[in-house]
Amino acid sequence: MFDYLIVGAGFAGSVLAERLASQLGKKVLIVDKRNHIGGNAYDHYNEDGILVHKYGPHIFHTNSKDVFQYLSNFTQWRSYEHRVRASVDGQLVPIPINLDTINKLYGLNLTSFELEEFFAKVAEKKEYIRTSEDVVVSKVGRELYEKFFRNYTRKQWDMDPSELDKSVTARVPTRTNRDDRYFTDTYQAMPLHGFTAMFEKMLSHPNIKIMLNTDYREIQNVIPYRQMIYTGPIDAFFDYRYGKLPYRSLEFKHETHNKPVHQPAPVVNYPNEHLYTRCTEFKYLTGQEHSKTSIVYEFPQAEGDPYYPVPRPENAELYKKYKALADAIPEVYFVGRLATYKYYNMDQCVAQALTVFKEIRTKEPEKPLVL
């Protein structure tokens, strides 16, 4: 008899498996329908021996000391600050838009102060910032919005930014200084030996059994367990009772080139050209030295594995209906990006899983901590 059946061996499922086993002595069965652990953060050495991220670039960053310290139990880190260039008007310029972006794009020599005045002149005043269009045009005006955001967003989401919640493009800030880092979080680092090695360590506890290539539905009536933690799509759990929640998918095209370097930045975004949104060169992320280099292109699509919840009001409404069903079965915990339909980064999934663990632990006050 397992205490917990955990569906999904990504961040949400693996953190909970580790905590329940190591802190509460629970017996855990973690199942994943894929043939590997790590969920979308899974990485592996390809046939040329280059460490690649199967499901696109994953860069770890967080402001949470708790999350960083927790993961540090399972990995050493390699400091890494992510930088991205956008291909716009025939040039590669920094994104997030900063002082160098504008000076390079327009052949200017503005100071930060002058750039603030420039933005103030071109920005469109908005009474309410509601959509992903509002966020950008209210800061940098329509021309820069069209060069950097409109077409990228249409490609990625198959939707105009005016139809998407403001939170989507608000992920990308605007700067008037020369800081060209993609993230400004306190902790920015990559697991020294990769994500999968970190997951292996998290899950290597005698109380944790891993079952891969298995949909939980195949075993849930065969293997006895007391409680479930579910990290797959919430609508699938309830057999799409209220209809499908939209998730956006991607097709990844991996390539290896017989040269040490492919492009001048870890990621190049292509807002206005090509069917793909961006190209990532993994060696920048991992620090690996190799005579060849591996890259991945991301082609957005509607069908396929669910990768992104689509933040917009009607989807939030539909999610609420599923959440009400979930709340009615307290013996199943819904955790993670797909099960709570939140556009979460890795660190947010870890934080959410740690919070759920605390909740579970407080329900068992009589159990002493297992050290």
- Binder to ligand UDP among 153, 174, 188, 231 (CB under 6 A)? 153
Give the C-alpha separation, 263 to 261, whole Å: 6
271 lies in the site for ligand UDP, by CB under 6 A: yes
36-63 exposure pattern, b = at least 16 Cβ within 10 A, e = fewer:
ebbbbbbbeeeeeebbbbbbbbbbbbbe
CA dihedral 325, 234, 331, 195 (to 10 degrees): -160
**Cα–Cα nearest to 279, from 46, 57, 97:** 57
280 lies in the site for ligand UDP, by CB under 6 A: no
- Binder to ligand UDP among 45, 106, 108, 171 (CB under 6 A)? 171
319 lies in the site for ligand UDP, by CB under 6 A: no
Restricted to residues 143-172, the positions that interact with ligand FAD (CB under 6 A) are none
Instruction: Provide the token pair at 6.
Output: 């955990």
- Binder to ligand FAD among 59, 105, 295, 351 (CB under 6 A)? 59
Binding pattern to ligand FAD, positions 307-326, x when CB under 6 A? x-------------------
Interior angle at CA 142, CA 176 and CA 92, nearest 5: 55
Name the one residue in this structure whose structure tokens are 């590669």.
Answer: 92
Cα–Cα distance list, 224 to 4, 216, 228, 238 (Å): 9, 12, 11, 21
Residue with Cβ nearer ligand FAD (139 or 337): 337
Give φ, ψ of 271 to 5 degrees: -60, -40
Is-contact 117 99, C-beta < 8 A? no
286 lies in the site for ligand FAD, by CB under 6 A: no
- Binder to ligand FAD among 133, 266, 337, 360 (CB under 6 A)? 337
Binding pattern to ligand FAD, positions 173-212, x when CB under 6 A? ----------------------------------------
Residue with Cβ nearer ligand UDP (21 or 144): 144
Residue with Cβ nearer ligand FAD (11 or 157): 11
| Least distance (Å) between residue 158 CB and ligand FAD | 16
- Binder to ligand UDP among 169, 176, 286, 340 (CB under 6 A)? 169
32 lies in the site for ligand FAD, by CB under 6 A: yes
Name the one residue in this structure whose structure tokens are 């979460």.
Answer: 344
| Least distance (Å) between residue 88 CB and ligand UDP | 9
Question: Which residues contact residue 127 at a Cβ distance below 8 angstroms, ignoring those fewer than 6 apart?
Answer: none
322-336 exposure pattern, b = at least 16 Cβ within 10 A, e = fewer:
bbeebeeeeeebbbb
174 lies in the site for ligand UDP, by CB under 6 A: no
**Contact positions vs ligand UDP (CB under 6 A):** 86, 95, 148-149, 152-153, 156, 168-169, 171-172, 269, 271
